[in-house]
Structure 1
Amino acid sequence: MNAPLAASGTTTLSSAEPDLTTASAPAARAAVVARGLTKTYGSGDAAVHALRDVSVDIAEARFTAVMGPSGSGKSTLMHVLAGLDTADSGEVTVGPARLTGMKDKELTRLRRDYVGFIFQQFNLVPTLTARENLLLPLQLAGRKADPAWFDVVVDAVGLGHRLSHRPSELSGGQQQRVAVARALVSRPQVIFADEPTGNLDSRTGAEVLGLLRACVDDFGQTIVMVTHDPMSAAHADSVIFLDDGQIVSTMARPTADGVLAVMRSISTTHDLPAGA
């Protein structure tokens, strides 16, 4: 497939080229490094090539968005980078930990100690209060929260007056704020967010995106967010665009209009006949 034309401010690159998220921006240390990732589901005529030799560096203390058409491989890439899935070939490193070849117990420890997750469905335990949901991952790991950091996180997400409430007593935005706080409280190396505003109205979604932006700017957090929405991607420092399992373009300092232009070019190129 031919790579789509790049909009202003973007770089169109092959999937094997490194340091994609820092194109046209000052060099930053990588929090996550991936090299030569391939992932195929099924076999023969039914095979789906979710990732095709993908290499990328995710910059530390930056907000990176991952976009692409449905079936482009964006969720698969996030899951492989986060240790939720394994690639058929290639290598992934998160912080000091090399995921490739890790056993299940080691991957569980890595996800517990180095990675935070925010999902579209919130994934809160309905019988627990907001405080209990927030602290649950630490309790499962046999660790105690740093009281000072806990207070900082709760204050940052604006939930101090709602900690005793259960999820059913919270709005969707408040539930997602609990999920953000839960991801932050263990101070992970990187937070992966999968369509974190997908179940929220536009106003509440904008508030959550602003909170994620503040996590990067105020706390130096590294965030990788899969999204389909150009407005959401515009909150990021950079955007990685995928199509057909390959990185086809990147954009530094994205705008909603610029992101939309690249997505349209991907769609147009994707619809061209073979050999075009």
Structure 2
Amino acid sequence: MSTTPAVAKTNAVRAEGLWKAYGHGEAQVVALRDVSIEFATGQYTAIMGPSGSGKSTLMHCLAGLDYTDHGVVNVGDTQITGMGDKALTKMRREKIGFIFQQFNLLPTLTAEENILLPLGIAGKKPDSEWVSRIVKVLDLGDRLKHRPSELSGGQQQRVACARALASRPDVVFADEPTGNLDTKSGTEVLRFLRQSVDEFNQTIVMVTHDPVAASYADRVVILADGQIVDELQSPTAETVLDKMKHFEEIVAAKEEANQAADAGEAR
């Protein structure tokens, strides 16, 4: 009987042994402690944890916005660890999209000009069919000639989403993308991010505090004190809330496991 070989699932982003600390001596704060994680292509991951857990630091290191003290980060087949600033900037333009809480739109440009700006900076001609498809999905067709001040918060964030996907990046990093939005606008953005994974095979890595936002993801990664302490597959708002209710127990169990592993190595 013949068998079909399994197709290896590729990773859009992979990190191994990441360490990151700020400050020195007694004032030093360790933001990441030996973090290893993979993000499969076409997967939507939410990163959660309390303030100071290291989730934004992790995202910044994965996206090449911050340097690690130790460890390696790969975006696709490209190792970004050790890259010079010029090469890193070029890589971010070509392979990474960003969506921030503050939208980061240029006020003097129209929505259309904001969407196409990264492509222009990179010297690339936009794929008009692809951009039109994104604009249609985000329902921005009648807002393209408007400046940010003429758009609602939800519309501005949808423009930011379109800008992030216009270059067909390997991965989109979203840092609290619904943090400044009302419930209706936030839901629209989250639905689009989910749709971009399901229809465009986009990879999304999102930092959030919101269990409802996390429920749109394929998995939730939970951080505490710079370490991954738990993961949740196919989350719902209820299962995420339940995890966070038992957060202290999860952290204690992780610490106990670490101590047991350290004791085993000492022997």
**Which of the numbers 173, 176, 179 marks the counterpart of 2:157?**
176
Report the secondary structure of 1:162's partner residue.
coil
Matches within 5 A, 1:1-276: 28-267=9-248
Unmatched runs of 5 consecutive residues or more in structure 2: 1-6, 257-267
- Alpha-carbon deviations, 1:16-57, whole Å to 9, x = none? xxxxxxxxxx97321101000000001111111100000000
* Contact 1:133/1:182 (<8 A) preserved: yes
Letter in 2 for 1:103: G
Counterpart Cα distance in 2 of 1:267 and 1:204 = 32
Deviation for aligned residue 1:268: 5.4
Counterpart Cα distance in 2 of 1:269 and 1:248 = 7
Letter in 2 for 1:150: V
> 1 or 2, which has the higher helix percentage?
2
- Alpha-carbon deviations, 1:49-105, whole Å to 9, x = none? 100000000111010000001000000000000000011000000012101110000
Deviation for aligned residue 1:127: 0.6
Moved over 6 A (4+): none
- Alpha-carbon deviations, 1:123-152, whole Å to 9, x = none? 000010000000000111111101111111
Counterpart Cα distance in 2 of 1:205 and 1:52 = 32
Letter in 1 for 2:156: Q
Letter in 1 for 2:199: D
Deviation for aligned residue 1:269: 6.0
Unmatched runs of 5 consecutive residues or more in structure 1: 1-25
Letter in 1 for 2:77: P
Counterpart Cα distance in 2 of 1:214 and 1:185 = 15
| Number of residue pairs matched by the alignment | 250
* Contact 1:120/1:194 (<8 A) preserved: yes
Letter in 2 for 1:245: G
* Contact 1:193/1:225 (<8 A) preserved: yes
TM-score for both structures, normalised by structure 2 = 0.90
Identity %: 61
Report the secondary structure of 2:246's partner residue.
helix
Over aligned residue pairs, what C-alpha RMSD do you find? 1.8
Letter in 1 for 2:45: T
Letter in 2 for 1:82: A
* Contact 1:69/1:267 (<8 A) preserved: no
* Contact 2:110/2:148 (<8 A) preserved: yes
Counterpart Cα distance in 2 of 1:82 and 1:148 = 27
Report the secondary structure of 1:260's partner residue.
helix
Structure with more contact order per residue of length (Cα contacts < 8 Å, sep ≥ 6): 1
Which stretch shifts more, 260-269 or 125-134?
260-269
Which stretch shifts more, 261-270 or 196-205?
261-270
Counterpart Cα distance in 2 of 1:267 and 1:121 = 31
* Contact 2:229/2:250 (<8 A) preserved: no
Counterpart Cα distance in 2 of 1:245 and 1:145 = 39
CA shift in 2, pair 1:27/1:199, >3 Å: farther
